[in-house]
Structure 1
Amino acid sequence: MLTGRGAVALVALAGYACGPGGGEADGGAADRGADVSSYMDAVPSGAKPAPEDVFRTLEGGEASFRDLRGNVVVANLWGTWCLPCRDELPELVELARIYDDRPVVMLGLAVDSGDVDEIRAFLEEFGVEYPNWMMGMDDAVATFGAVGFPTTVIVDREGWIRKELLGPQTAASLTAEIEALLR
């Protein structure tokens, strides 16, 4: 049982993000086995490829980031168990509304958040209408390097991860990032 300073530090950490760390994660170029020199010429500065993984949808199908190419994708890793994720949801709902008619996809990635019915009930409570896929904690860490939640990953139209942000985001701050990629 934590008491004193340990409990205060834990509460302070939980108030920022569900997990250790904070701020913006660095993204470096990754090699998919292509010729390194030509590959490096095509990689936007500081970017890495979006994952090739296939995710389960709430409708029972499968989807991948490849399916979303041509759109800027704002992928938010969240959990029903994560208090900062709950606080952030109204901002993401607003962001989805702002970009409803533009080539931008707001995407939720529910991490270890129960079965489909539990996730749907949670999303309904917050008025979330944008697509959500499901994944486990181990996959969130292995695929995205998630060190805390919420984590937001912004993918450009060509499928390159351009930003990885830890902690709750606002519609205003994400709008600036999205607009830069739509130019």
Structure 2
Amino acid sequence: MKKVFILISIVAASFLLGSFLGVTVDAERNSQKDVRLVAANIPEVSRPAPDFALKDTSGKKISLSSYKGRVIMINFWATWCPPCRQEMPSMEALFKEYNKRGFEVLAISSDSQGEKIVKPFMEFYELTFSALMDADGEVHSLYGVTSIPTTYIVDKNGNIVQKIMGPRDWKDKNTKGMIEKLLQ
């Protein structure tokens, strides 16, 4: 009787374990499939930047295509993100230094409260570049953004020339050199 109980327990455990592993393999297979589908839509360097139109903190609709002929930094961020807040002052300094020469910063916020929280943030930190609202995450998805801050640099022709993940000191000589070169 004891042997039958042990045998039944082993068979049941094997069945449960096999069922569990099957779900894991299927889930992994499906997630890999989803990743491939999403990855196919993520803009790559040297490709045209996908166009979008979002409202700024004053409610005005801004489109990427309206900045053609300018070098653009598209920065995905949120007010609650410490690394995003950390890089904002150097981003503002870069913007002020190069804006009159054809450089723009479009800071796309994922904050669910939109301009109610972003506008006071921009005022408090004295940020003068454009902050755009993407509370539903549509443009974040369009660009394949999975973590913030993520930044794309777009040349005068509207092509992505660099993708940068994580915070940066935007006043460093490498960044300034890249912007100088793109503005020529």
Normalising by the residue count of structure 1, what TM-score does the alignment of the two structures yield? 0.71
Kept in 2, the 8 Å contact 1:81–1:113? The answer is: no
Kept in 2, the 8 Å contact 1:73–1:106? The answer is: yes
Alignment of 1:56-135 (within 5 A): 56-135=55-134
Deviations 1:86-119 (A, max 9, x none): 1111111111111132111122111125231311
For residue 140 of structure 1, report the CA deviation from its aligned partner: 4.1
1:49 aligns with 2:48: yes
Kept in 2, the 8 Å contact 1:72–1:157? The answer is: yes
Name the residue aligned to 2:155.
156
Tell me the amino acid that sits aligned with residue 66 of structure 1: S
For residue 121 of structure 1, report the CA deviation from its aligned partner: 0.6
Aligned length: 141
Secondary structure in structure 2 of the residue aligned to 1:48: coil
Kept in 1, the 8 Å contact 2:74–2:108? The answer is: yes
| Poorly superposed stretches of 4+, deviation over 4 Å | none
Deviations 1:23-68 (A, max 9, x none): xxx963xxxxxxxxxxxxxxxxx41111222111222121111000
Q: Which whole-Å CA distance do the structure 2 matches of 1:27 and 1:54 have between them?
A: 17
Structure 2, unmatched stretches of 5+, are 1-41
For residue 124 of structure 1, report the CA deviation from its aligned partner: 1.2
Kept in 2, the 8 Å contact 1:85–1:149? The answer is: yes
For residue 161 of structure 1, report the CA deviation from its aligned partner: 1.0
Q: Percent identity?
A: 29
Q: Give the number of the structure whose alpha-carbon radius of gyration is greater.
A: 2
Secondary structure in structure 2 of the residue aligned to 1:101: helix
RCO higher in 1 or 2 (8 Å CA, sep ≥ 6)? 1
Structure 1, unmatched stretches of 5+, are 1-25, 29-45
Q: Which whole-Å CA distance do the structure 1 matches of 2:105 and 2:140 have between them?
A: 21
Q: CA RMSD in A?
A: 1.8
Kept in 2, the 8 Å contact 1:80–1:113? The answer is: no
1:174 aligns with 2:175: yes
Bigger mean CA offset, 69-78 vs 113-122: 113-122
Tell me the amino acid that sits aligned with residue 180 of structure 1: K
Residues 60/141 of structure 1: CA separation in 2 closer, same or farther (3 Å cut): closer
Q: Which whole-Å CA distance do the structure 1 matches of 2:46 and 2:176 have between them?
A: 19
